[in-house]
């Protein structure tokens, strides 16, 4: 919800697509910079405490932004600074969260738990903006931030209620040595390097479509928050369908091949949306890309978790986080810089073509992922 209101707020205050991309960049770049340290810490300290600290910081930032908007004192630099603080909290909370999930189930249930976790994480990234779009239209920006802050209370209570804890082994190794061990583990796993490279490229090229939906709604289709909310709703509906399909298929064979086919579909859908001038056709293509986006992300995340040993999970998932979340700031910043030069449709269309080519390359040429 906060992402939607924040994107519309930045664009409304500044009128600058570059600042819209910069806001997304500042929210994600700490994950690229600090996740490796966060992953090493997740294998050294009690993971639930790390995650709780992250949640408290993010909740506070949401309430501060709601207060600034409510009092009419908000400026773009306030939003940019709070985005960076939230990103720092997520850079430590993300690896702890991903390493904690496999501890909650028996080993034989791990594949299903990983699939469900991947679904809810990625689904929340799209359904949240849909709800945020409705809240923005009906209630206003203040309530988007306030409700987001309130939502953290449920998460914090749930974490306190968990009956598990991670007791790390004592080690005299430095943080740098622990990080190197995690990277070494990844390099020895064959297809793991390709999965992480795919995660980076996917988020760098696919997520700007969601970030720059306000630009399409306002400048391409000459609409307002209602058009923006419509686009988000359709994308969210597609994501729900994609999530249900992934859940129904369960622990299927040939996950790598399925993920790559969905990546090809995602690239084609993004290019089609970028070039469409029909609201109806754009909605159809957003539905397809929403379903493809969830399918690709959840399948790739499941493959990474299944390959990883528990004592290395925090470090390996931090590297995955660097790739998965690190692609977002660079993709958003580059897109924000290129859109004023070439227009949003052209830039997003090129992103889609690059994704399509990437999927075909790993599907037909470099087949380590396709063999999983």
Q: Is residue 245 part of a domain?
A: yes
Least confident piece of the model among 124-128, 224-228, 247-251, 263-267 = 124-128
The CATH number of whichever domain residue 9 belongs to comes to: 1.20.1250.20
Identify the pLDDT of residue 156. Answer: 92
CA distance 133 to 236: 11
Q: Is residue 143 part of a domain?
A: yes
Higher pLDDT: 115 or 239? It is: 239
Identify the pLDDT of residue 129. Answer: 65
CA distance 243 to 246: 5
CA distance 334 to 340: 11
The mean pLDDT value of the chain amounts to 83
Identify the pLDDT of residue 167. Answer: 60
Q: Could you tell me the CA-to-CA distances from 82 to 60, 88, 130, 154, 330 in Å, in that order?
A: 10, 10, 22, 22, 19
Q: Which two tokens stand for residue 102?
A: 């496999």
Alpha helical stretches, state H, 106-222? 110-138, 141-161, 175-187, 192-206, 208-211, 213-215
Q: Which two tokens stand for residue 80?
A: 């940019």
Identify the pLDDT of residue 333. Answer: 82
Q: Which residue, 120, 149, 158, is CA-closest to 58?
A: 149
SS3 of residue 276 by DSSP:
coil
Query: Over 90: is that where the pLDDT of 246 sits?
Result: no
Q: Are residues 314 and 96 in contact, defined by beta-carbon separation less than 8 angstroms?
A: yes
Identify the pLDDT of residue 18. Answer: 84
Least confident piece of the model among 8-22, 123-137, 318-332 = 123-137
Identify the pLDDT of residue 325. Answer: 73
Q: Could you tell me the CA-to-CA distances from 144 to 9, 50, 131 in Å, in that order?
A: 11, 26, 9
Neighbour tally for 168: CB within 10 Å: 14
Higher pLDDT: 231 or 8? It is: 231
**pLDDT above 70 as % of the chain:** 90
Q: Which residue, 53, 219, 69, 76, is CA-closest to 141?
A: 69
Query: Over 70: is that where the pLDDT of 81 sits?
Result: yes
The band of 114, judged by pLDDT with boundaries at 50, 70 and 90, is low
Q: Is residue 334 part of a domain?
A: yes
Q: Which two tokens stand for residue 369?
A: 């992922």
How many distinct structural domains can be found in the chain?
1
The band of 126, judged by pLDDT with boundaries at 50, 70 and 90, is low
Q: Which of 12-21, 115-124, 298-307, 344-353 has the highest mean pLDDT?
A: 344-353
Identify the pLDDT of residue 298. Answer: 80
Q: Could you tell me the CA-to-CA distances from 271 to 80, 82, 90, 96, 346 in Å, in that order?
A: 29, 32, 31, 36, 9
Higher pLDDT: 264 or 113? It is: 264
Structural domain of 142: 2-163+175-364
Q: Is residue 370 part of a domain?
A: no
Q: Is residue 77 part of a domain?
A: yes
Q: Is residue 284 part of a domain?
A: yes
Query: Over 80: is that where the pLDDT of 123 sits?
Result: no
Q: Is residue 181 part of a domain?
A: yes
Q: Is residue 371 part of a domain?
A: no
């Amino acid at each position: 919800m906060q992402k939607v209101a924040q994107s519309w707020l930045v664009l409304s205050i500044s009128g600058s697509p570059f600042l819209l991309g910069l806001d997304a960049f500042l929210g994600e770049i700490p994950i690229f910079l600090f996740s490796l340290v966060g992953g090493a810490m997740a294998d050294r300290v009690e993971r639930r405490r790390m995650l709780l600290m992250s949640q408290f910081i993010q909740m506070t930032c949401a309430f501060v932004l709601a207060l600034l908007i409510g009092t009419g004192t908000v400026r773009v630099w306030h939003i940019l600074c709070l985005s960076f603080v939230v990103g720092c909290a997520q850079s430590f909370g993300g690896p702890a969260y991903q390493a904690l999930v496999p501890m909650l189930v028996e080993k034989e249930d791990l594949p299903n738990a990983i699939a469900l976790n991947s679904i809810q994480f990625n689904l929340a990234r799209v359904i949240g903006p849909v709800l945020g779009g409705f809240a923005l239209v009906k209630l206003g920006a203040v309530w988007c931030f306030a409700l987001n802050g309130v939502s953290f209370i449920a998460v914090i209570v749930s974490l306190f209620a968990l009956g598990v804890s991670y007791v790390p082994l004592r080690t005299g190794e430095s943080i740098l040595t622990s990080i190197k061990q995690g990277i070494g583990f990844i390099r020895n796993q064959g297809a793991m390097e390709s999965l992480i490279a795919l995660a980076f490229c996917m988020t760098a090229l696919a997520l700007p479509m969601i970030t720059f939906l306000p630009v399409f709604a306002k400048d391409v289709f000459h609409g307002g928050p209602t058009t923006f909310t419509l686009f988000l709703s359709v994308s969210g509906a597609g994501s729900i369908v994609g999530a249900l399909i992934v859940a129904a298929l369960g622990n299927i064979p040939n996950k790598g091949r399925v993920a790559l086919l969905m990546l090809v579909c995602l690239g084609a859908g993004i290019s089609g949306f970028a070039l469409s001038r029909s609201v109806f056709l754009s909605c159809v293509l957003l539905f397809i890309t929403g379903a493809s986006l969830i399918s690709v992300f959840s399948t790739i995340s499941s493959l990474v978790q299944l390959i990883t040993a528990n004592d290395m999970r925090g470090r390996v998932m931090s590297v995955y986080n660097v790739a998965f979340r690190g692609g977002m700031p660079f993709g958003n910043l580059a897109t924000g810089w290129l859109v004023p030069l070439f227009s949003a449709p052209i830039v997003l269309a090129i992103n889609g073509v690059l994704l399509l080519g990437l999927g075909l390359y790993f599907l037909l040429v470099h087949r380590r992922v396709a063999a999983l």
